[in-house]
């Protein structure tokens, strides 16, 4: 039986699910997997994208850890693809590679004023509150009124994290610098803007409902947004998820605070619909001072058209949460328009053609774009793995597929890589830090410290 030596680049859920599926298919062939990750710790988006107050989703880490702990996957963390290890290296030592590097950047938004001081991408803020080692430790939280653009789950994460009182986040795993930053926040009003209506949102009912349960935060909706057209009524009648979302929002119309009247909480989270961004207005010093938007109305088909009515609201910070975008990898084809690796069901294609690149595969958000919940990544990985197994005849012919080659190469290049034992060290360390303060975990944020703890140096 041929032995497949496989490299997977990206140790988030997509890469780990792909490894799991391959190992389960091992009856059919023999496989050895090395998982490369540019961060010192695995789990990608679950560790660095899921909000800290979502322990149920963070819990996916336990299932991913079970896969790694089986002991038949080697992990090489703190290894940057393209720098510490290249595509040529992989071809020399493996039969094939799967790229599962996700999508971690913010989609750009072509809007006047988007570069003003105080205008941020959601991905950067999420990285900050999740303790990503590669973003600054400080986050400016001087604004009293903040706008969040977008009606997806990331917009709700950002709005919730901004509106929530820092002490209500203490039971979670937020890093110490994040707690301190949020504790000093001056925010009183968070305004979420969707360009379409309540029946066209992308966020999910559970995440919406959660906003209504925040301590000392009023959730504010406005009657003018509930004058539904037939397409919206049809969507509510035919789609259970939309029906629940409508029911939740309708119930908030009856609450104190609705329409900006009454309500006693010290903070408010407003949901505005039918608001198409026009401009981020900056003051003389180039700082965000207002958000200008056009009121839209439904077009009868689930879309909207502008009404020509321009409105303005004073804000001091703006977060765009309008979607993530993938990043190119050195030597790997990339579709600049969609931010993905061009592929046919996970087989990488040469840029601008339908020719398959032998030995090179992709899965997860870098394959299909940043949509769908973490669980959707499993079926995605299955599709990719099916092709990989069927393509045995066109795998690479590595010069040196020995187990010792990669650790030797990384050591020779002075790469301080972390491994699975290293992750266990870091995990234990973070749990102990948390326990000392009566918290579940306190994340280590500095990359160097993560590496030191992992390597027990
Ligand atoms: P998303 O679900 O695609 O939502 C993007 C939002 O941005 C949409 O409301 C979209 O409006 C809006 N938008 C896009 N371009 C815009 C523009 N130019 N102007 C104004 N609005 C614009 O993306 P996401 O929120 O980044 O989430 C990515 C995936 O991760 C989703 O599948 C999400 O469910 C998942 N996720 C889940 C959780 C969770 O807690 N369960 C947390 C975070 C993320 P239109 O619909 O009108 O295009």
Same domain assignment for residues 60 and 193: no
- The residue whose CA is least distant from atom 26 of ligand 1 is 323
Q: Judge whether residue 373 has pLDDT over 90.
A: no
User: Residue 282 Cα, ligand 1 centroid: separation in angstroms?
Assistant: 25
Q: Is residue 432 part of a domain?
A: no
**For position 352, what pLDDT does the model report?**
87
What is the token pair recorded at 150? 């977008």
Residues 173-212 pLDDT 10s? 999 999 999 999 999 999 999 999 999 999 999 999 999 9
* Range name among 3-12, 23-32, 144-153, 313-322 with the lowest pLDDT average: 23-32
Question: Could you give the CA distance from residue 232 to residue 243 in angstroms, rounded to a whole number?
Answer: 10
Q: Which of 320, 350, 376 is the last residue of a domain?
A: 320
Residue 74 has pLDDT above 80, yes or no: yes
Q: CA-to-CA distance for 190 and 146, rounded, in angstroms?
A: 5
If you ran DSSP here, which 8-state letter would residue 76 be given? E
> Hunting for tokens 């505005």 — which residue is that?
272
Q: State which of 53, 107, 154, 232 you would mutate to test the pocket of ligand 1, scoring each by most atoms of that ligand within 8 A of its C-beta.
A: 154
Cross-strand pairs, 119: 318
pLDDT of residue 142: 97
Question: Which ligand 1 atom sits nearest the alpha carbon of residue 111?
Answer: 18
**Same domain for 271 and 151:** yes
One domain, residues 190 and 276: yes
> Does the beta carbon of 372 sit less than 6 angstroms from any atom of ligand 1?
yes
CB 154 near ligand 1, within 6 Å: yes
Q: In ligand 1, which atom is closest to the CA atom of 109?
A: 18
Q: Are strands 267-272 and 288-298 parallel, antiparallel or unpaired?
A: unpaired
Is 325 touching ligand 1 by the criterion CB < 6 Å?
no
Average pLDDT score over the chain: 95
Pairing of strands 288-298, 304-314: antiparallel
Which residue, by CA, sits nearest to atom 28 of ligand 1?
371
- In this structure, the answer to whether residues 178 and 65 fall within a common structural domain is no
Q: Are residues 90 and 223 in the same domain?
A: no
Which residue has its alpha carbon closest to ligand 1 atom 9? 151
Pocket test for ligand 1, best of 202, 271, 368 (most atoms within 8 A of CB): 202
The verdict on residue 176 lying in a domain is: yes
Q: What CATH code is carried by the domain that includes residue 115?
A: 3.50.50.60
Q: Residue 2 pLDDT > 90, yes or no? A: no
Domain residues for 197?
Answer: 108-320
Judgement on whether residues 394 and 250 belong to the same structural domain of the protein: no
Query: 211 CB less than 6 Å from ligand 1?
Result: no
Both 146 and 72 in one domain: the answer is: no
For ligand 1, whether the C-beta of 109 sits within 6 Å is yes
Q: Is the CB of 112 under 6 A from ligand 1?
A: no
Residue 431 lies in a domain: no
Ligand 1 site, residue 105, Cβ cutoff 6 A: no
DSSP 141-196: ---SEEEEE-SSHHHHHHHHHHHS-GGGGTTTT--HHHHHHHHT----EEEEE-SS
- Residue at a domain's end among 320, 350, 377: 320
Residue 54 Cβ < 6 Å to ligand 1: yes
CB of 326 closer than 6 angstroms to any ligand 1 atom: no
Whether ligand 1 lies within 6 angstroms of the CB of 202 is answered as yes
Whether residue 450 is contained in a domain is answered as no
Calpha distance 276→272 (Å, rounded): 10
Query: What whole-number distance in Å separates Cα of residue 33 and Cα of residue 5?
Result: 6
Is there a domain that residue 49 lies in?
yes
- Single residue among 289, 320, 351 that ends a domain in this structure: 320
Report strand pairing: 3-9 vs 356-362: unpaired
Instruction: Determine, yes or no, domain membership for 351.
Output: yes
In CATH, what number is assigned to the domain containing residue 11?
Answer: 3.40.50.720
CA dihedral 12, 15, 21, 26 (to 10 degrees): -130
Q: What is the structure's pLDDT at 25?
A: 82
Q: What is the pLDDT of residue 1?
A: 61
pLDDT in tens, 7-29: 999 999 999 999 999 998 866 67
My answer on whether 158 and 35 are in the same domain is no
The residue contributing the CA closest to ligand 1 atom 29 is: 371
Domain assignment of residue 143, yes or no: yes
pTM of the model: 0.96
pLDDT tens-digit series, residues 377-391: 999 999 999 999 999
pLDDT score recorded for residue 293: 98
Cα 244 to middle of ligand 1, angstroms: 18
Q: How many domains does the chain have?
A: 2
* Atom in ligand 1 nearest the alpha carbon of residue 151: 9
User: Do both 155 and 120 map to the same domain?
Assistant: yes
Q: Would residue 447 count as lying in a domain?
A: no
Q: Could you tell me the pLDDT band of residue 376, with boundaries at 50, 70 and 90?
A: confident
Same domain, 141 and 262: yes
Residues 42 and 177 in one domain: no
271 and 366 co-located in one domain:
no
pLDDT at 240: 97
Residue 14, SS3 per DSSP: helix
The pLDDT of residue 407 is above 70 = yes
Q: What residue's CA is closest to ligand 1, atom 37?
A: 153
């Amino acid at each position: 039986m041929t032995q497949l030596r496989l490299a997977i680049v990206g140790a988030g859920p997509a890469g780990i699910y792909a490894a799991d599926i391959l190992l389960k298919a091992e009856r059919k062939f023999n496989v050895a997997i090395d998982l490369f990750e540019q961060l010192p710790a695995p789990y990608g988006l679950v560790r660095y994208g899921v909000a800290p107050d979502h322990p149920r989703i963070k819990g996916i880490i336990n299932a991913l850890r079970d896969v790694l702990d089986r002991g038949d996957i080697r992990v090489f963390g703190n290894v940057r693809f393209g720098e510490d290890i290249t595509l040529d290296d992989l071809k020399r030592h493996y039969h094939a590679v799967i790229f599962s590097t996700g999508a971690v950047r913010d989609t750009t938004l072509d809007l006047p004023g988007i570069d003003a001081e105080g205008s941020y991408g959601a991905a950067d803020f999420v990285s900050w509150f999740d303790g990503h080692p590669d973003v600054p430790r400080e986050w400016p939280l001087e604004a009293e009124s903040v706008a969040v653009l977008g009606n997806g789950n990331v917009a709700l994460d950002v709005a919730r994290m901004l509106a929530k009182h820092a002490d209500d986040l203490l039971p979670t795993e937020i890093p110490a610098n994040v707690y301190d930053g949020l504790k000093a926040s001056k925010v009183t009003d968070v305004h979420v803007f969707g360009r379409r209506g309540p029946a066209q949102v992308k966020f999910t009912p559970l995440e919406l409902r959660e906003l209504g349960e925040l301590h000392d935060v009023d959730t504010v909706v406005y009657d003018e947004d509930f004058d539904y057209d037939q397409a919206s009524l049809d969507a509510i009648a035919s789609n259970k998820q939309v029906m629940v979302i409508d029911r939740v929002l309708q119930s908030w119309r009856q609450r104190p605070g609705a329409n900006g009247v009454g309500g006693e909480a010290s903070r408010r989270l407003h949901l505005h619909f039918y608001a198409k961004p026009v401009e981020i207005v900056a003051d003389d010093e180039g700082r965000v001072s207002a958000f200008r938007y056009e009121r839209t109305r439904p077009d009868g088909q689930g879309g909207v058209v502008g009404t020509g009515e321009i409105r303005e609201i004073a804000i001091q910070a703006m977060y765009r949460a309008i979607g993530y975008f993938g990043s190119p990898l050195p030597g790997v084809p990339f579709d600049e328009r969609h931010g993905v690796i061009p592929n046919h069901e996970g087989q990488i294609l040469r840029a601008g053609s339908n020719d398959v690149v032998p030995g090179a595969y992709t899965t997860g958000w870098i394959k299909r774009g940043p949509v769908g919940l973490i669980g959707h990544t499993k079926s995605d990985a299955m599709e990719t793995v099916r092709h990989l197994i069927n393509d045995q005849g066109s795998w690479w012919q590595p010069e040196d597929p020995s187990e010792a080659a990669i650790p030797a190469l990384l050591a020779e290049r002075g790469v301080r890589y972390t491994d699975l034992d290293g992750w266990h060290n870091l995990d234990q360390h973070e749990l102990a830090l948390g326990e000392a303060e009566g918290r579940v975990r306190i994340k280590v944020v500095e990359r160097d410290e993560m590496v030191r703890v992992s390597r027990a140096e």
